[in-house]
Copies of this chain bind each other. A is one copy, B any other.
Amino acid sequence: MVDIERLYSDRAGKMRKSVIRELLKVTQDPEIISFAGGLPNPNSFPIDDLEGVVDSVMKNYGKTALQYGTTQGLKDLRDIIAERAYKDGIDVQPDDVIITSGSQQSLDTVGKVFLNPGDTAIVGLPTYLGGINAFRSYESNLTGIPLDKDGMMVDVLEDTINKLMKDEILPKFIYVVPTFQNPAGVILSESRRKKLIDIANDYDLVVVEDDPYGKLRYDVPHIKPIKAFDDIGRVIYISTFSKILSPGFRLAWNISSPEISRKMIICKQALDLCTNTFTQFIALEFMRQGSMDLHIMKICEMYKPKRDIMMKAMQKYFPEGYVCYKPKGGMFAWPTLPEGIDTELLFLDAIKQKVAYVHGKAFFVDGGGARCMRLNFSYSTDEQLEEGMKRLGNVIKEKLEKNKVVL
């Protein structure tokens, strides 16, 4: 036997499995209605359009599309991404864009480029689990800032940075998912976006803005990303094709200052040399055909009623005393349940009743979130949404009843 533990790095010793990806295994049972994944609806994939696109890529660009590409990504694709970012309020050059293998790779790169063991980064309470995993894999400390219905509470943010600085801790960056946050579904208000940039300017910090859901808007007008308020080049903006085209393509991008992007490209060279060239060409052709905006509109038309079904079913089946802001975009609802519920413990009851979710604690770096659960509304059919929420409501009610009896 190899005495392998002896050979592992310190960071490997601390690595933990992703709660969600482990949950996804449990929920393979086809009878389980799962609100656990963060999966787009497979019916949203533009398979018919893509057949033609793929065919044209193979015929017209085969030899290039099957070859290695540059680490930074296809120039034409970066051009289109820069153009589209400009329309969203971000003024960038194509050279500031890096195509990555999913936005998870951007998060890993941020961790690798900025975090020494023991360094501190700031995240939301709650925040995206993939961010937590990426940053923790570099042995960092994560300090959490609570969210309310307008996103990260920037006053608390400033107080917290002040406290850290008094202890001679300089946080490296502020990680934020400002638009239709995963998991909480809330939007960081414009005034808070400006305030957040002011704080970053005052303390000379990097801001990591993760924006996978910005285009999945149901009830609100376009919201400018934080990056649009950044005059200095301190925001690393991250977005992805996973939620608006296909997660299977593993295509995402980040936008940052020339200096930061130079460092991130060097880092990416050692990570995977380059991102999948073939699917880069497919995404490029899809956008060149002008199909993207129409397709996004179709996805929103598919997801908005699903959101409504879930929210109505919640009102109908959940017990009194829960709180859930109506998500105005994205893929998740985030109810906080009445006192006495621990959603991690409740999970086994739920699985017995053939319904699944992700428990709230998975998204909290401070041990909080025991009364919360993340519910995905994009993946399930309308019928599954109704039936699954009914099952879930019953599980919660039963638990509350039991609590009463015990009391």
Contact = CB atoms under 8 A, between A and B. Distances in A.
A315 to B, nearest CB: 30
A65 interface: yes
Interface stretch (A218-226, A263-271, A299-307, A394-402): A263-271
Contacts of A205: 7
Contacts of A156: none
Contacts of A2: 204, 206, 232-234, 257, 259
Copies of this chain held together in the complex: 2
A270 B15 contact: yes
A12 B272 CA distance: 16
A105 B233 contact: no
A248 B279 CA distance: 9
Contacts of A248: 65-69, 276-278
Contacts of A104: 270-273
Contact of A272 (B24, B105, B269): B105
Interface in A26-84: 37, 39-40, 42-43, 45, 47, 50-51, 54-55, 58-59, 62-71
15 contacts: A7-B114, A12-B267, A16-B266, A21-B269, A25-B70, A42-B67, A50-B66, A51-B59, A54-B58, A102-B272, A104-B272, A108-B272, A130-B270, A134-B270, A278-B279
Interface of A: 1-4, 6-12, 15-18, 21, 24-25, 37, 39-40, 42-43, 45, 47, 50-51, 54-55, 58-59, 62-71, 101-102, 104-105, 107-108, 112-116, 119, 130, 133-134, 136-138, 170, 172-173, 204-206, 232-234, 242, 246-250, 257, 259-260, 263, 266-267, 269-279
